[in-house]
Structure 1
Amino acid sequence: MKDDSTPGQGGFGPAEPMPPQNGGAAYGYPGPQGGYGYPPGPAPGGAYGQDGGYAQPLVSIGDITVTADGIVTPAGKLPLSGATWTVTDMTRTEEKIPTHAIVLAVVFFVFCFLGLLFLLMKERTTAGHVQVAVNSGGRFHSTMIPVHDPLAVHHIMQQVNYARTVCA
């Protein structure tokens, strides 16, 4: 004797419904009729890059992306014309004697003070960030980009200069 409360063959509990076979979507995914918060019918705006989609990015600086038709930020889209770019370098480069050089200087001190030459070894470290800000159309957005290399600062400056030429 079999009733609805007993599990089906090979499992425990009631059997799960099979996904629709007539071209519909699987369970949990929106089908052609919409569902789960999606409006019915085709996706708005058509395919990517057509009818209101975003254009190909020309340069991306932190979370600021410059396209051929505008500047895209998390706060929204800014117009290209009249954009003012500001870059603030807030990095610092420190120079110090590494620990292994001090140890070698102490170990080799007995050889006619030649071990003191190890104290001439220097180690440079760069830390900080670069702030990039854009102001256009009465709107403002700023981003902080962490930097660990002096060449990264130069690269960010080149990206902002390219964005300035695009906006001109």
Structure 2
Amino acid sequence: MATGPAKDEKCCLVAVTLDKDTIGQGPPDVEHERRVAIYDLLEKNRFVLRDYADEGPYNLRLQIIDRKLVLAVDRQDGVPLITHILSLTPLRRIVRDYFLICESYYAAIRTAMPSQIEAIDVGRRGLHDEGSHLLIERLKGKIEVDFETARRLFTLISVLLWKGQGR
């Protein structure tokens, strides 16, 4: 479990845990993205449970069960608040395309010209943004997140799904 610094705000995450049974061990590039996403997420985020806005800050556990994303949210002191279960079907195409372009990007940064790397990275960021907007929409009415928080959560969801893609 990664833990961030103490926060004065109630509208934030202070700890994020990825289910070890779901995540597995990914390639070094994927592991690096996971660590960076968790670090950045804990440094700055906006995360508010609609029905428990006064109960924050929060701890978040992410896992994949039966092709569904499970977001288990506790108070900072560990008292469980709510578990949201979301179908991954709306995200699958974006995540699949994101995996493909990430593989191209990781290969390119080792051998390609800077202009080629930049072109691939533009596409990668575009898919990442699309997934982030979709995640915000899917959480609407349940959990309020800002765009940067959604981007980092999308990265973590992608890391969780990496194992399931046979990579």
TM norm structure 1: 0.23
| Structure index of larger Rg | 1
Q: Which has the higher contact order (CA 8 A, sep 6+)?
A: 2
Structure having the higher strand fraction is: 1
- The structure whose residues are more often helix, as a share, is 2
